[in-house]
Amino acid sequence: MTELWDGLVQALHLIVTFDDEVVDIAWRSLRVSAASTVLAALICIPLGGLISFRSFRGKRLLINVIQTFYSVPTVCVGLFVFLMLSRAGPLGGLGLLFTPSAMVVGQALLITPIMLGLTISALSSVDKNIRDTTLSLGASERQAIWAIIKEARFAISAAIVLGFGRAISEVGVAMMVGGNIRGFTQILTTAIADEANQGNVELALALGVILLAIALVVTLGVNLVQQRR
Amino acid sequence: MSIMQVIDLHQRHGSRETLKGVSFSLEQGEVFGIIGPTGSGKTTLLRLLDQIEVPSSGRVYFEGRDVTGSPRLRSELRRKVGMVLQKPVVFDASVYDNVAFPLRLRRYSRKVVHGKVDTMLNAVGLDGYQRRNARTLSGGETQKVALARALITNPQALLLDEPTANLDPVSLKTIEEFILRFSRENGTTIVIATHEMAQGQRLADRIGVIMEGQLVQIGKPSEIFYAPSDIRVARFVGVENILEGRVTSNREGLVHLDVHGRAVEAIANRHPGDELHLFIRPEDVVLSLSEASTSARNSFSGQIAGLAMSGPLARVHLDCGFPLVALITRQSAEDLGLQVGKQAHVSFKATAVHVIGQ
């Protein structure tokens, strides 16, 4: 138990003293996960709108597949992106492996199924009459989808927050495609794994507390925006 | 001039055929009522007219062009034809943003939008509601927002699905008057679907009666109400007296019929021996206690079999050899001291009897 307590104390100390290395790691974590969340949202919201708006053969099957990928192991996504970006892989020429960009792409890929699936279910819970109303008022398909997205904005922002949560808390992708290079691709989760392996339990715990603090701030921020209606 | 025409529309929803071969055309500027019981296909027909749904077969012409099968013409039609759904929904946004929505879709400038929205809100009596969230409004206010939103683009035709179903009598009157005035001032064609035949009678220039997916009769309100084309229509439009009779003689258009052994006269050109249905509206039956002198061709005495009050009216069921219902005011029912079992006299004109073949 003393390790837990010591960890908390050390976390507070690191936060209060703005330890350079810790701030650097935390800031990188936040940036990478925020970027991957934005990237995933830019894909998931329009795509989810289209899937939910149109009726086509195999729609149910597609949604089932998307939902299945909610539970894809992070290391599997990491391995897939690693193979794509490695020198011999199809995208090897980009030279992205072991860079923060690779981590952004990997995390975005990781959280896309959950964000897409939740966006689709958020949109399908919007009253069907909204769709008919927008069409009858002269909206094009794109305009109608946008209006429906606006109706579901709170449920969609919850999907985005969940995606961010999964991105900032994952280790597998960051480890495999980022490589945990100190000062370059090391983020909070990979640093925690690293420090714990080296026996620095207090520091590992402290980094965990910092990660949760970031999540708390993000959640509070989103709630604040939602309540300001 | 015809603005819209539909030819042989069929619609299937799964195994259910909701529309079966509906054809008619809409004239520019008219108010067309579609009446029929709930579930008869009124909503489906409106959705096809607005091209929110695609028919399983049949054609929709708008301004002389066949729009079925052309995404471009269908969306052009939707831009020129407004519709208010049966249960109108408003966006989770302010009243102003709701009414401005169709204008913003059409990329009007902020200034134009502002002017139009304020004018329209004023016209429907929602001035001052601009910043209210539309989801917090009452049923009547929501209906007004939906109407304002559909009319803000000044559509060529407006389709209304049970527009006053959830309204109190006062709001109902305001909305009906507003719709008629708007139509007259702007030449807007109005299609109004309602299960309430009285509303159709009040508002419509022409009425189409839809029963089980088929358009069974189209005509002026007076034709629909006094000369229904079959028994189903007659029942729906409130003809409570539907009798069976056989023609015994025909003298220059005045026929004598044998109805349960009593002689009834009607204006019709039918041959002796023809088996007919007789329709008599209950309000056309005159009721008295003594055998008053009357110019009416048909006069019978009978016993009161039932008496039911509904609002300001009383419905009197009589047995005069055949069952007959008379609709009189509650006041006169009281003045006459009507009671079940009492004798009374009824009379109705030969012109009040509408006959069709069995």
Task: List, for residues A108-138, the tens digit of each pLDDT value.
Answer: 999 999 999 999 999 999 999 999 999 999 9
ipTM for this prediction: 0.83
Check: CB of residue A2 under 8 Å from CB of residue A141.
Answer: no
Residues from chain B that touch A137, judged by Cβ atoms under 8 A, are: 78, 82, 101-102, 105, 149-150, 153
pLDDT of residue A219 exceeding 60: yes
Q: Where are the domains of chain A?
A: 28-190
Query: From its phi and psi, is residue A123 left (phi > 0), alpha (psi between -120 and 50) or beta?
Result: alpha
Helices (H) and strands (E) in chain B, counts: 10, 20
For residues A118 and A218, the model is more confident at A118
In percent, the amount of chain B with pLDDT more than 70 equals: 99
Question: Which pLDDT score, from 0 to 100, does residue B311 have?
Answer: 87
Q: What is the rounded average pLDDT for all residues in chain A?
A: 92
Mean pLDDT of B324-332: 92
Report chain A residues whose CB lies below 8 A from the CB of B92.
Answer: 150-151
Beta strands B65-66 and B57-62 are antiparallel
Beta carbons of B179 and B190 less than 8 angstroms apart: yes
Task: Tell me which residues of chain B, numbers 41 to 100, contact chain A at a CB-CB cutoff of 8 Å.
Answer: 47, 50, 52, 75, 78-79, 81-83, 85, 87-89, 91-93
Q: With an 8 Å Cβ cutoff, are A136 and B105 in contact? A: no
Indicate yes or no: CB of A151 within 8 angstroms of CB of B105: no
Nearest to A138 among B93, B105, B146 (CB): B105
Asked whether the beta carbons of residue A129 and residue B85 sit closer than 8 angstroms, the reply is yes
Q: Find tokens 């049949």 and name the residue.
A: B58
B51, closest residue in chain A (CA to CA): A136
Distance, CA of A84 to CA of B349 (rounded, Å)? 92
pTM above 0.80, yes or no: yes
Q: Is B36 left (phi over 0), alpha (psi -120 to 50) or beta?
A: left
**Tokens (6 digits) for B285:** 């039956």
Between B67 and A8, the higher pLDDT residue: B67
Q: Looking at chain B, how many residues does it have?
A: 358
Name the residue of chain A whose CA is nearest to B155's CA. A137
From B88, B91, B149, residue closest to A151, measured CB to CB: B91
CATH of domain A28-190: 1.10.3720.10
Say if CB B30 and CB B205 are below 8 A apart.
yes
Interchain proximity B91–A130, CB inside 8 Å: yes
Alpha-carbon distance A122 to nearest alpha carbon in chain B (angstroms): 15
Question: Which residue pairs, CB below 8 angstroms and at least 24 apart, start in B69-78?
Answer: B75/A138, B75/A140, B77/B50, B77/B51, B78/A135, B78/A136, B78/A137, B78/A138, B78/B50, B78/B51, B78/B52
Task: Please give the structure tokens belonging to residue B276.
Answer: 């007919």
Q: What average pLDDT does range B207-231 have in this prediction?
A: 93
What CA–CA distance (Å, rounded) separates A197 from A194?
5
Residue A229 in this model has a pLDDT that exceeds 70: no
**Separation of alpha carbons A198 and A200, rounded Å:** 6
- CA–CA distance from A205 to each of A9, A193, B223, B301 (Å)? 10, 10, 86, 101
Indicate the Cα dihedral angle A146, A152, A158, A160, nearest 10°: -10
A60: Cβ contacts below 8 Å, ≥ 6 apart: none
Give the pLDDT score at A21.
87
Average pLDDT, chain B: 92
Which amino acid, B37? P
Asked if residues B184 and B31 have their Cβ atoms less than 8 Å apart, the reply is no
- Distance from chain centroid for Cα B142: 23
Chain B CB contacts of A150 under 8 Å are 91-93
Closest B-chain CA to A131: B52
Place of tokens 């399983």: B56
Quote the CA–CA distance of B165 and B103 in Å, as a whole number: 27
Q: What is the pLDDT of residues A6-60, one digit of tens each?
A: 878 887 888 788 888 889 999 999 999 999 999 999 999 999 999 999 999 999 9
With a pLDDT cut of 90, the percent of chain A lying above it is: 77
Report the residue from A133, A140, A150 with minimal CB separation from B89.
A133
* Residue B168, pLDDT score: 82
Written as one letter, the residue type at B92 is D
